[in-house]
Structures are given as C-alpha cells and as structure tokens.
Structure 1
Amino acid sequence: MAIGEIFLGSFFQVLFDKLTSLTLDYAQREGISKALDEWKVMLETINAVLDGAEDKQLRGDRLVKQWLDDVRDLAYDMEDLLDEFDIEATQAKLNAESSTSRGQLKRKFSFFNQSSSHVSETKVQEINGRLEKILNRKAHLSLRENVVDRSNDTNKRLPSTSLPELQFFGREEEEAQVLELLISDVQNSDATLSIVPIVGMGGVGKTALAQRLYNDPRVNNCFERRAWVCVSDVFDVLDITKTILQSISKWPCKDKDLNWLQVKLKNELSGKKFLMVLDDVWNEKYGEWTSLLKPFEAGAKGSKIIITTRNRPVASITGASPYPLKELSINSCTSLLAYHALGARNFERHPEFETIGKKIAERCRGLPLAAKMLGGALRNKRNPYEWEDTLNNRIWDLPTAQKDEVLPVLKLSYVHLPSYLKRCFAYCAVFPKDYEIERDELVLIWIAEGFIDGRNAKDNILRSRRNHFDELVSRSFL
C-alpha cells in the first residue's frame, strides 16, 4: 500500500489551487467556467470525507479502498485536463497581447470562443460523469464528513507507561550518554531545570529508552520526585499538570482548574529535585510550553525533564540541545526479532531460521517497532517457508492485528505535517524503494509540480525552497 494511495487529501489542494486560478481565466467562457465551479464544489464534498475513508481503508475495508483508488485516478486525470486548460489559457493571453501590440482590436480571450479549442468538451462531460458516480458511491459507503481527527489517531495507539520493555537491545551507548545527562549537574549554569529532548523517527525506540532510564536505580536515587506522562497528540496543559500532580501526591484533582493544580504542583516540587518524562510530544507552541513549565521552576537545581519527540522543532522550543536517536544496528534488530519470534536472544538454537531471520531483520531498517511487530507476526510460525513468505511481503502486508499497531505510529507523523509538506512528502512515493534522492532535483520537481511556488522567490529559487526539504528531514521523514 503506497503512501500516495493512503494520503490522497494532500493532492486535492493542488487541484483546488488550479481550479481557482483557471476559473478566473475562463470567466468569459461560460461552459468551462461553470464546469470548473461545479468541479470545485464536488471535490470539496469528496475532500471532506477523505480522512474517514482513509481511516476505513487502513482497517481493511476493500470497497472503500476501491473507491479511493477511483478517486485517485480521477484526480490525476482531472489534473491532466486542467493542465490542458492552463496551456490554452496561456496561449489565449499571448494571442491577445500579440494582437494588441500590432495595433489590432483587442478581443480579450476571444480565443476561447473559437471552435478549434484544444480541449474537448467530451472530456469535460466525462469528468462530470465520473465525479457524479463517485459522489453517489460515497453515500452507499456510509462515509461522513470530518469524522476523523488527530485525537482519533492517538486513541488507536496504546498510551505509553513508565514500565520498561522486557528485553532491551543495542542501546547501551545511548543509555549511558543520556544517563550521564540526567544524573550530572549542568556545569556553569544557574538554571534550576534542564531539558533533555530525545529526538527520532517513529518506531526508533525513544519511549523504550526513556522507560529504561526512568527505571534505572541510579536515576531513582538521584531524584526525590518522578512522574511519567504520555502526552501524545493533544498538548493539554491542564491534563498534563493534573497527571503529574496525581503521580506525586494524593491531592484529589477532579474538577480543579489550572490555577489550583499549578499552585499545588509548585508546592509539591518546591525545593525538591525531580525528574519528569513527557513522552511523545508534538506541541510546537512556545506559549503553551512556557505555561506548562511555570510550577517546575520551584524545584531544586539539577531537576530534569525528558521529552521524546519526532520533530526537532518541538525540541527547539525548549531551548535545549536535542539528543538524536538513530536506528538500531542489524545485529540488534536481529536479536530483537529473534526474541519476539522465538523467545531467544539469537538463532543459535534455531539455525534453520538464522539466514532468513537476518534478511527479515534487514527489512526492519533499524526500527525496533518493526522488528517487534514482525517478530510477533512470526511467533506462531515454525516453518522456514512461512518466514520466507513474510520476507517477500512488506510490513504493510502483515495481518491486520499487527498492521494496526504499526500504521498509526507512522500515520500520526504524517497527520501533523503542514499541508504544503504533505504534498511534497506524498510525491516521494513515486520513487522506487531504496532510491537515493538528490535534494536539489527533488526540490525542482516539487516546484515544477506546483507543490512549491517558485515564481516569487526574491533570491535563488533552490536556496529559498530547500527549507521544505530540510523541514521534512527535521521531522524524521527523510
């Protein structure tokens, strides 16, 4: 299942932009102008249910998947036709300007009224018919508008806890480095509070590392107060504060306002050295972050907050240097796969699976979550041929129970992208697997496709538009 098949909504904005622009150019051509207006209305109706449809597709609804495939095909054909309209409109403008420059009577866009129009009216009617059929099928599929939001994606994921994984592989160096950051005081600093942002892509093991550190006896001995909060999608200052206060005190917090909660939390932390873990943070709003931190300033020097996040911009609002978490080594992925598939740390007692197991581990690309889910899918398979079948399938082809655990983790990253970055990232699905993409080549393609406006750049277009690429890198997409 390609990214382009799942996240169709990002492409619709391109169509809306083209329709808006062309409607103005075709103001004098009544038939085409009316069709463009109708298309925009129908596309807006389809776009309103795309989130719900994509969500149903992820759950395995084949009828919805076919509907989305048809919507995608129609969108591409519509874009091709709009490009033809654009060429015709541009030619008409050039003709009008040429006529005016020769002193002839200016007939604005009279070119549109000629019977030799390059765009067939039949194509317009065909698009209309396909749009109407898609809208009719929408009703039969029970697709409703605006039924999926970010919090729904969050609810599909099991909230994290402070309890660590039963087995932990390949993070000894990272664990030692972050542990040193936690238990050592910052030199030459008067700051009471230090932030330790652990940054990495979804599924790379940020939460597992934080859990390991949170339960380390040396950490327990270093801090008087500890609390763990799974923040995830919704950064609610009141709820986060309430969770922390309930973790470190016996105060009844039901129906209390933020002021009451923060005053009590400040009193609980006053003069005490504490460790807080804020897991899976997405908030990039500086004001909400500073509001949350108000009670923490009362703690003793050496207090720490660990945040785990996929986005460097989240870490930047804290003012702290991010600790980037890279992918696991192949050997560590192999051990993790063997543990979840066979209950062993390696394949010594199962040599018949060793070769195929290492190949499957390579498919995990260093992501512990993928190794864990693949291992779980193989747990009841004791025939090497069954492991071969898994190797020849992508992780998206796992049984529904496993697939549902992986996709929400990755989809949530996409949901949080700004619309202009969604279009740019979704386009990358056209490249073959493992293709090495040249940055400047990709940026130029984005500009050519209309995903990035390259017309109004005051300086070098490439230099000014590379920030889109850099932002996708900072959000762990590229």
Structure 2
Amino acid sequence: MSGPTSSCGTRWRRRPPASRPSASWRTMQIKGIVSRYSSLANEDRALRWGNGDGARRRGLPSTRPPTSSLVDELLVYDRKVYKDTLVKHILEECPKSQLSVIPIAGMGLVGKTTLAQLIYNDREVVEGFHLRGWVSLTRCFDLKVLLQRVVESLTSNPCRYGQLDAVQGALLRCLTRNKFLLVLDDVCPEHLYFWDQFKASLSSGSQGSVLLLTTKVGEVAKRTNTVPAPLYLFEGISNECCWLIFEKYAFNVRDTVEGLDMDGIHKRVEEICDGMPLVAKHLGISFNRHYGEARTWMLYMEDVIEAEVVPALHSSFQLLPDYLKPCLLYCSLFPKGYMFKKGRLVRLWMAQGFILS
C-alpha cells in the first residue's frame, strides 16, 4: 500500500516500527547498573560515611560547640609569652581598678580560647580570686539566660529564677565582697546591645575583679576594653608547632613511619593548618583513624577542612560589616596562593563599585 503524496509529488513511506531491545542488550544494561552500584558502595565503605552525612554537607556550616575551662595541653604551643604578659597584668595592674575588662581578639581557630583557658587555670590566678567562672556564649543572646549561666558557673549550683530582676539580684549577692574572674568566650556584636546592663550586674564584686573575654570582632574588643590596649592574636602558631600537634594526635607509641611519605605529609599538613592548632589536632585524629590508608586519609582531609575551617571562616564572614563582605568575596576570584598588591586590589574594588571614592 502506498503512502500519502506531498505537494511536490513525492510519495512518503511509512516508518517501520522500532524493534524491541533484545534480551542480551537488557542483560548488559543491568550488569552496567550493578557495576556502578558496586563501585559506589566500595567508595562509601572506604570513606566510612554515616547516615546523614550528605544532609550535613548540603546545609550551612554547623555552629561552634560550647567550650569549657578545661585546657587541652596538647594544643599549647607558642602562647607562653602571651599568657605570662596577661597573667602579670591581671595580678599587678587589675587590682588598681574595680572591674577590668580584658579582650582577646583574633580570627577563628588561632587559639584565643586556649589562651584564655591557660590564664584561667594558672596557679597564681587560681589563688588570687575568690570566685572564678567560665561562660561560653555560643547561641546565647538573651541577657537573663547569660546571667543565669554566670551564676551557675560561679556557684556550681542551678539558677532557677524566672525573672531578670531576680537573676540580677542573685548575681549581685553572689559577688558581694568577692574578687572574681569571669571568662566570656566568643563575644559577638549582638552582645553589645545589653553590655552596659550586663556590666552593671557585676558591680558588687570586690576591687581587682576581672572580666576576660574572647572575640573575633575588633569592634567588640574596642567597645568593651578597659585596659591600655586589647590583645590581638592576628597570627596563628608556627608551622613547626602545627606539625608537633599533628604528630601527637596522629601517631601512637606502637606506630611506625616506615613506608610513609613523611615529607609529603608534613608539607600537606602545614599547607592546610596555616597556623591553626585546632585544624592540626583534627588532621592528626583523622590520620590516626585511617593509619596506613594514605589514599583514604587524603580524601578525609577535605572533610576536616569542611568541619573545622569552613565554619570558622563562615562565622568570621558573617560578622563582617555588610559593605566589606563583597570585598572579601571578590578575592575568591583569584587563585590559591595569589600575592595581592594592596593598591591594585583597592582599585579593583573601586572599579566594581564596592568602595565609593
């Protein structure tokens, strides 16, 4: 049977029906799917992922966990000079004032909390104060909750008052005729909204009381500081100290380094840590867990960066003023290790409209 004719006189032919795929073709497709699934399963076992890891990766960086006054001695490097200077100031200069506020400011992961822990647990400091307390301000932006935590830290007893006035009264009674040292870890600009009211709640302490705080924001240090100059920790520890921290967590006494590319590992650890002791610690822990599996450990290093470095950078970025955030984001266009020239970078920012002349 002939098909229809077009306007040009050409006769169309009907297209024959498509043939069904053969059984052998379907078998090959199934084998390919099984092979890819097996490959993914092997990678999953090698990386040792747990349930929910994918969800955590897709979400925003996790909030920094709360801290305490206990110090990890393995992380203490390159901080003796800072510690001795501050301890001397606390013991010799602060007794001249009713309440001294000493801020320690610097970017995340450089060791502000560790330095505060060293000062808090110093023998002379312990003997020089009637009361000591440590409060981590992570996710705490309510004055009443903050004062409750202060009372509980100073007295080691729960504070169950429901009203702000009652909590303030309890704190004033607790501090009366007592010389105290209070550490506030991770103070943010949001805490400045009730800073004067918070300081007033500490007014009953004895002469020489000290409020030691850590912060990532220089403006917070300037606003709260009562000493001649706040202490800024702009630099991390040395690369050699990072390697020493890594070694302590990475290798057990029984471990042998034979067959390992120690020079390559040393170089990679220094590149990633960049003076940040906490990153060195977690790299060492991950290496110890994957000891002898160099390829797996190299893959896991990216998880350490995401778990430790990215949240610190994210929190520091969020604390920047809005007009500075585009300037920092613009720097991500340049390759890693690029040497910036200050004048040229400023002109590029101006050309993008980030800085108004």
TM-score range normalised by the length of the shorter chain: 0.7 to 0.9
Shift of 1:428: 0.7
Contact kept? 2:326, 2:354, Cα under 8 Å:
yes
Structure-2 residue corresponding to 1:297: 203
Equivalent residue for 2:41? none
Relative distance call for 1:60 and 1:232 in structure 2 (3 A) is closer
Task: Give the counterpart letter for 1:60 in structure 2.
Answer: R
Q: 1:242 to 1:425 in 2, by over 3 A?
A: same
**Contact map agreement 1:207 1:308 (CA 8 A) in 2:** yes
Does residue 414 of structure 1 match 2:321? Answer: no
Cα pair distance change 1:384/1:359, threshold 3 Å: farther
Classify the secondary structure of the residue corresponding to 2:291.
coil
Asked if 1 retains the 8 angstrom alpha-carbon contact of 2:75 and 2:278, the reply is: no
The match for 1:167 is 74
1:398 and 2:306 matched: no
Residue 277, structure 1, aligned to residue 217, structure 2: no
User: Cα distance, 1:217 vs. partner?
Assistant: 2.1
Aligned to 1:379, what secondary structure does the other structure show?
A: helix
Q: 1:354 to 1:222 in 2, by over 3 A?
A: farther
Q: State the Cα distance separating 1:394 from its structure 2 match.
A: 10
| 1:183 paired residue number | 91
Q: Distance in 1 between matches of 2:149 and 2:180?
A: 15
**Aligned mates of 1:285, 1:434 — CA distance in 2:** 36
> Which residue in the other structure is 1:429 paired with?
332
Change (3 A) 1:179 1:278: same
Once residues 176 and 284 of structure 2 are traced to their aligned partners in structure 1, the CA distance between those partners, rounded to angstroms, is 46
Distance 1:322 1:57, change over 3 A: farther
Across the aligned residues of Structure 1 and Structure 2, the Cα RMSD in angstroms comes to: 2.9
Aligned to 1:10: none
Counterpart position of 1:86: none
SS at match of 2:345: helix
Structure 2: stretches of 5+ with no match in the other structure: 1-52
Q: Quick check: 1:182–1:304 contact (8 Å CA) kept in 2?
A: yes
Query: What's 1:259 paired with?
Result: 165
8 A Cα contact 2:135 2:153, kept in partner: no
1:443 to 337, 342, 346: 346
Does 2:59 align with 1:59? no
1:419–1:185 CA distance, 2 compared to 1 (3 A):
closer
Task: Name the structure 2 match of 1:125.
Answer: none
Does residue 245 (structure 1) correspond to residue 156 (structure 2)? The answer is no
Question: For 1:235-384, what aligned pairs fall within 5 Å after superposition?
Answer: 235-249=141-155, 253-283=159-189, 286-320=192-226, 321-325=229-233, 326-343=235-252, 350=257, 352=260, 354-363=262-271, 364-383=273-292
The TM-score with structure 2 as length reference comes to 0.75
Q: Kindly state the Cα deviation for residue 371 of structure 1 after the two structures are TM-superposed.
A: 0.9
AA partner of residue 208 (structure 1): T
For the residue of structure 1 that corresponds to 2:203, the secondary structure is helix
Return the alpha-carbon distance in structure 1 between the equivalents of residues 331 and 152 of structure 2.
Answer: 45
Counterpart secondary structure, 2:137:
strand
Within a 5 Å distance, the mapping from 1:171-250 to structure 2 comes to 171-186=79-94, 189=96, 191-249=97-155
Alignment partners' CA distance in 1, 2:206 and 2:291: 55
Q: Which has the larger radius of gyration?
A: 2
Query: Is contact 2:279–2:309 with CA below 8 Å preserved after alignment?
Result: yes
2:7 maps to none
TM-score normalised by the chain length of structure 1: 0.57
Contact 1:206 1:308 in 2 (8 A): yes
Question: 1:337, 1:374 within 8 Å by CA — same for their partners in 2?
Answer: yes
Query: SS of 2:189's equivalent?
Result: coil
User: Aligned in 2, Cα 1:361/1:225: closer, same or farther, shift over 3 Å?
Assistant: same
Residue 419 of structure 1 aligns to a residue whose secondary structure is: coil
Kept after mapping to 1: 8 A contact 2:103/2:225? no
| Contact kept in structure 2, 1:353 and 1:384, CA below 8 Å | no
Question: 1:156, 1:229 → 2: CA distance?
Answer: 16
Structure 1 residues 353, 265: CA separation in 2 closer, same or farther (over 3 Å shift)?
A: farther
Question: What CA deviation, in whole Å up to 9, does each residue of 1:57-105 have, x standing for no partner?
Answer: 88334xx9xxxxxxxxxxxxxxxxxxxxxxxxxxxxxxxxxxxxxxxxx
Specify the SS of the correspondent of 2:75. coil
Query: Following the alignment from structure 1 to structure 2, what is the Cα–Cα distance between the partners of residues 384 and 408?
Result: 27
Following superposition, the deviation at residue 251 of structure 1 comes to 6.2
Distance change >3 Å, CA 166–CA 431, structure 1 → 2 = same
User: How has the CA–CA distance of structure 1 residues 349 and 215 changed in structure 2, closer, same or farther, with 3 Å as cutoff?
Assistant: farther
Long gaps (5+) in structure 1: 1-55, 65-147, 455-460, 462-478
Q: Find the aligned partners of 1:438 and 1:160 in 2 and give their Cα distance.
A: 38
1: distance between equivalents of 2:284 and 2:312?
A: 17
Report SS of the residue matched to 2:101: strand
Cα distance change of structure 1 residues 313 and 168 upon mapping to structure 2, 3 Å threshold:
same
Task: Give the letter for the 2:319 counterpart.
Answer: H
**Matched residue SS, 1:246:** helix
Alpha-carbon distance change, 318 to 258 in structure 1, aligned in 2, over 3 angstroms? same
How many residue pairs get aligned? The number is 299
Letter in 1 for 2:57: G
Higher percent of residues as helix: 1
1:233–1:419 distance in 2 versus 1, CA, 3 Å: farther
- CA-to-partner distance for each residue in 1:204-243, whole Å, 9 max, x for gaps? 1111121222122222111110111101344322111110
> What secondary structure is seen at the aligned counterpart in 2 of 1:299?
coil
Q: Residues of 2 paired with 1:404 and 1:213: CA distance?
A: 28
Structure of higher RCO (CA pairs closer than 8 Å, 6+ residues apart):
2
